[in-house]
Structure 1
Amino acid sequence: MSIRVDHQGWWSRPAERQKVPGPRRGSPLPGEPGPDTFRVSARVALTPEELTLATVDDFLAVLRLVLERSGLTAGQVAAKTSIARSSAYNLVSVSRRGLPVDPDQVLLFLTGCGLRMDQVDEIMRAWGRFALERRRHRASGELRPEPEPPRRNVDVGVDRCLEQLRLVRAAGDLDKAVTWARRLTSALLAEKAVEHVAARSVCSG
């Protein structure tokens, strides 16, 4: 079965294609190539217990479970869909703690893995519940504010860089993680330079 992912309505099943004469049954329609159109075989199914998603950790665990059942790698799923390779791996990273912010990515990932569409819908409804809960907590001030990226021309120590890198990576913000990783490299080089100067002073003394 070929489907087109509907980015405007992630909470419902993608609309079925209209039948057109010409192509043999089950083949992609001509003139409709693209990263969001791909072959889908609904060969992955979860049990009701596995679909019981009470927390964000449960949600992240089920993404990893679906990938495992599919027999694919995250890179192979990315190749089938419009998801960036790094984003696909980030969705199922064991170090991830935050809810994925882009529901379209989650939808593409699940359909790319071949999960049954009724179960895709159920998982996406769970995403909607968690996203709403997060917005409510953010509005009430219960959520801890996200760490800010380092300002330019401000020296930041190695320990602080490591701490912030762990936080933003756990939150799934790869852009900020890259920023902090660069700062960490600079801080390590600066620390090494200080140790080198200190060692030379000891030798000369």
Structure 2
Amino acid sequence: MSGIGVLREGPLHAAVKDLLARPGDAAEVRVEGFVIDLVRASGELVEIQTGGFSPLGHKLDALLDGHRMRIVFPVPAERRIVRIDEHGEVLSSRRSPLRGNALDVFDRLVSFPSLLAHPNLVVEVLLCREDHVRAPEAGRSRSGRRRRDPGERRLDEVVGSVELASPADAAALLPEGLGAVEAFTTRELATAVGCRMILAQRIAYCLRAMEVFEDAGKRGRAPLHRLVTR
């Protein structure tokens, strides 16, 4: 793998890029004025995004019509919280009760949900086992708030992946029984998929934009959604 230099990146981003690299790929290549994480020998442009998708907006606007593009999004399916001292020695380690899954991609797709229908775009969710490494807690600030090191994410292992190349692939992340329900609220959607209300709201927003959900009126003040049958 060759490149023109490595831009500033966190350890998770760097580890995923190294893991994905294949013979003949080039890293950190300029394509029409934009730096791309990986350019496949086949011509596919690969962007690894550990945060929000909105910073990719200009790249997608400029490049997507003329290039096949893949957004790789690592999700912590399993996470360990590791505390280290100033010398990097491990002080403590515990497994986090929080577990991510492929539905977490809707937290990011809110930036441009309708683009998943574009024939040149694939979003790949990497389900990872990660360490979240933090320094010891540093007491409280003058305002009384507890100071916390935001830490950094480090890849341990990739345990699975899910590819979304169309709105139908996004719909396939929903529970099978949801299609048998005539109409449902966002809160009922949250219960069905087992997620937070805020994520259910983003799922509903994205799937409406993709025309997977349609308006089904209201129940009281709560908007109702219905799966579109084709």
- Structure with the bigger RCO (C-alpha within 8 Å, sep 6+) is 1
**Larger relative strand fraction:** 2
Instruction: Provide TM-score, normalisation by structure 2.
Output: 0.25
Larger CA Rg, structure 1 vs 2: 1
